[in-house]
Amino acid sequence: MAKSEEFIAMLDLVSRHGLGFKPPSYHEIKVKYLKEEVQNTFLALQAYRDEWKKIGCTTMIDGWTDKKRRTIINFLVNNPKGTVFLKSIDASAISKTAEKEVGEENVIQVVTDNAANYKAAGHLLMTKRKRLLWTSCVAHFVDLMLEDYEKKIPNHEETIPKGKKLLPLFIQDLL
């Protein structure tokens, strides 16, 4: 971005507001300001991490495949303070967890996709860690339930597709 002509032109316009204005260098942006933002983000997350230690948290895992056919796994953490996007990983050739970033002892619930491999992993986790609750994705479960209603109850053929459009908004409000 700092090398783009548009960025330099923007800073030139900004500099007209004061004499001697000099835009930050590419190095300053890439090193100094990026480090500052990483530190600010870390500090902002610390309040969430403290809350995880106090009352526990739920890890939410969502997997998908990108256009290059890589398996991408997103890790999010939720508790009453809010939901935090933790990270995404390319799990095409490896398997990882968010265990180090959150602290295994702080996790009380894991929410995953409804795929058979996630269900099996969830049951294994609950067997190994007695205080852990595994839950399948509610949005996916409700979507499957609505599909059944739509297919089997004729007067729902029109109503169910409309409800499916509202479901993501409803789920977002719950989070």
Count CB atoms within 10 A of the CB of residue 73.
Answer: 20
Going from the N-terminus, what domains does the chain have, and what CATH number goes with each?
5-43 (no CATH), 56-136 (3.30.420.110), 137-175 (no CATH)
Q: pLDDT, tens digit, for every residue of 101-127?
A: 677 788 888 877 777 777 788 888 888
Q: pLDDT, tens digit, for every residue of 53-85?
A: 999 888 888 888 888 888 888 888 988 888 888
C-alpha 147/C-alpha 157 separation (Å) is: 9
Bridge partner list, 133: 109
Bridge partner list, 82: 79
What are the Cα distances from residue 41, in Å, to 48, 50, 68? Answer: 11, 15, 30
Contact at 8 Å (CB) between 79 and 106? no
Contact at 8 Å (CB) between 52 and 64? no
Whole-model pTM: value is 0.46
